[in-house]
A and B are shown apart, each in its own frame.
Chain A
Amino acid sequence: MQKTMAPKDRKPHVSRNPDLIRGVGKYSRSKMYHKRGLWAIKAKNGGTFPKHEKKAAEAAPAEKPPKFYPADDVKKPLVNKRKARPTKLRASITPGTVLIILAGRFKGKRVVFLKQLTSGLLLVTGPFKINGVPLRRVNQSYVIATSTKVDISGVNVEKFDDKYFGKKVEKKKKKGEGEFFEAEKEEKNTLPQDKKDDQKTVDAALIASIEAVPDLKSYLGARFSLKAGMKPHELVF
């Protein structure tokens, strides 16, 4: 029964007043009054339309007049209701898709897509043992999505987000230059052990599902390149 359900559950009602042309309905105001059954609602309620009692307006806290009025009118910025969203992901890119990276250090490498991060960048991994690409962020625009998919169900990617990949900010010591500089630089270059372990856990499950498909491992290990006679606009990826 519709009336017992909460108002939100009702199906949105189609207009009872069909359009003859845009802007002109078939029925007049008086006809529509009758159609909507407002007369029946009023009759039920004893002659008047049922009303809510207005909530007593809370007394606004007394504002003190400002001490300072600016000399010129201050302009208010325009209302901006846009929300930041991650870039729209191409329909061809789903978790487990093999992507071809087109630019940067790993150009031409075929890589497995894991998930899209909140910044819009794609989280991707080689896997590292197969082609040397670690857990990395990649921009969607610099990637070709192939139609080959890898089974990614055994992989847990919850913990990776943009902060994980951000540069580590260290407190700078302004005091001694020279010696201090050299010592600090040497420490920065090694990758922390927990990142290496993360790579291993992600790749373990992935490599298992990759080895299930014949030739897929060597496919991911090889780089993509255009050869003679290959026309990119005619290639099916």
Chain B
Amino acid sequence: MPFKRYVEIGRIALVNYGKDYGKLVVIVDVIYQNRALVDAPDMVRGQMNFKRLTLTDIKIDIKRVPNKKTLIAAMEAADVKSKWENSSWGRKLIVQKKRASLNDFDRFKVMLAKIKKAGVVRQELAKLKKETA
């Protein structure tokens, strides 16, 4: 199976370890075999080991090491944020974050909603079973 996501300048990656865990960063230069220079609109440009990054499908069009303004403009042009939030990976992460931040009362409300939904589904199923039986 060939590789589909390559490390290249402009590749968006997700940080999976360290202080910036969970952030989306742009690979802005390759330092050597194991390290890359990464940048994001809300962080200072710095180096990171590739092992700390997980590549995504998103790529933006930039030249090697652009300045912050150009980088932000390129990210806006490629609409990285909405692409990420609409992708299934991005949506999963958002749901995980929401679940982790639920209050005890919120968890109770979710439980009530689940029971209600299951009740409705079961009613429909019972109806369908009756028809076919």
Tell me how many residues of A have a C-beta within 8 Å of chain B.
16
Main secondary structure of the interface of A (DSSP, over half): mixed
Tell me whether B103 and A146 are in contact (CB under 8 A).
yes
Quick one: which of B101, B102, B108 contacts A222, CB cutoff 8 A?
A: B108
Per-position binary interface string of chain B over residues 94-108, scored 1 when its CB falls under 8 Å from any chain A CB and 0 otherwise: 000000111111001
Per-position binary interface string of chain A over residues 109-143, scored 1 when its CB falls under 8 Å from any chain B CB and 0 otherwise: 01000000000000000000000000000000000
Q: Does A206 contact B (CB under 8 A)?
A: no
Interchain CA distance A216-B105 in the complex, whole Å: 8
Query: In the assembled complex, how far is the CB of residue B114 from the closest CB belonging to chain A, in whole angstroms?
Result: 12
For B104, list chain A residues within 8 Å (CB): 98, 100, 110, 146-148, 224, 235-237
Q: Does A219 contact B (CB under 8 A)?
A: yes
Q: Does A58 contact B (CB under 8 A)?
A: no
Query: In the assembled complex, how far is the CB of residue A96 from the closest CB belonging to chain B, in whole angstroms?
Result: 13
Interface size class of B (residues with CB under 8 A): under 10
Interchain CA distance A222-B100 in the complex, whole Å: 22
For B103, list chain A residues within 8 Å (CB): 146-148, 236-237
CB within 8 Å of B: which A100-114 residues: 100, 110
Quick one: which of B100, B101, B102, B105 contacts A219, CB cutoff 8 A?
A: B105
The listed residue with most A CB atoms (<10 A of its CB), out of B100, B105, B109, is B105
Query: Considering only CB atoms, which chain A residue lies closest to B102 in the complex?
Result: A236
Interchain CA distance A218-B101 in the complex, whole Å: 22
Q: Does A215 contact B (CB under 8 A)?
A: yes
Tell me whether B105 and A98 are in contact (CB under 8 A).
yes
Tell me whether A146 and B105 are in contact (CB under 8 A).
yes
Query: In the assembled complex, how far is the CB of residue B14 from the closest CB belonging to chain A, in whole angstroms?
Result: 21
For B108, list chain A residues within 8 Å (CB): 215, 218-219, 222
Q: Does B112 contact A (CB under 8 A)?
A: yes
